[in-house]
Amino acid sequence: MTTARPILLIVLLASIAVIGGALVFQYVIGLQPCELCFAERWPYYGAIAIAVIALATGARGAVWWVGLLALIFLGSAGLAGYHVGVEQHWIAGPTACTGGASGAKTPEELMKFLSEQQPVRCDEVQWTLAGVSLAGWNIVTSLGLLAVTAFGLGRIRRERAR
């Protein structure tokens, strides 16, 4: 528990900060999230729940909990990387939020296509800091938390081996 508790607290506080920041951007600043932005929040919600459960149980099975968190942040970095790829037009994104040709042949088909489009497009960067989009900063944050959990996992295993 010596190493697990600080690692779990770092993950918990960082994940709360990320979700809090996303909500501030959405509800205070007025930056509306796209479909992929919403999806990128889920790993942090999961990390919060897992960290709270692990801390509440006294971090029994700390290797398992921290390992699961590492996998979550690996997946989170992958999802954010996908979003950056969509923003940069390197890869195609979900058709529901990237526009694209409608293929409509009648006004009714066009209206149906337009009604299914998301108001915020996934392939358009809405905000940057130092030239990096929020999805790009999510890659940085996810990889940082992956490094923290991987470091913690190594420390926990060494402690158990003693």
Overall average pLDDT of the 126-134 stretch? 89
- Please say if the pLDDT value at position 146 is more than 60: yes
Query: pLDDT band for position 85 (50/70/90)?
Result: very high
Into which CATH architecture does domain 4-90+105-161 fall?
Up-down Bundle (1.20)
- Please say if the pLDDT value at position 111 is more than 90: no
Contacts of 149 (CB under 8 A, 6+ apart): 7, 11, 66, 67, 69, 70, 73
Query: Would you give the DSSP letter of residue 133?
Result: E
Is-contact 118 35, C-beta < 8 A?
A: yes
Alpha carbon distances (Å) from 52 to 5, 67, 84, 90: 11, 15, 30, 37
Q: What is the mean pLDDT of the chain?
A: 88
Greater model confidence, 10 or 158: 10
- Please say if the pLDDT value at position 89 is more than 60: yes
Alpha carbon distances (Å) from 60 to 11, 51, 144: 17, 12, 24
Greater model confidence, 32 or 115: 32
- Please say if the pLDDT value at position 99 is more than 60: no
For residues 131 and 141, give the distance between their C-alpha atoms in angstroms, rounded to a whole number: 16
Is-contact 66 8, C-beta < 8 A?
A: yes
User: 85, exposed or middle or buried, with CB in 10 Å at 0-12, 13-18, 19+?
Assistant: middle
Residue ranges covered by each domain of the chain: 4-90+105-161
Of all helices (H) and strands (E), which one includes residue 128?
A: strand 128-129
Query: pLDDT band for position 70 (50/70/90)?
Result: very high
Query: pLDDT band for position 83 (50/70/90)?
Result: very high
Query: pLDDT band for position 105 (50/70/90)?
Result: low
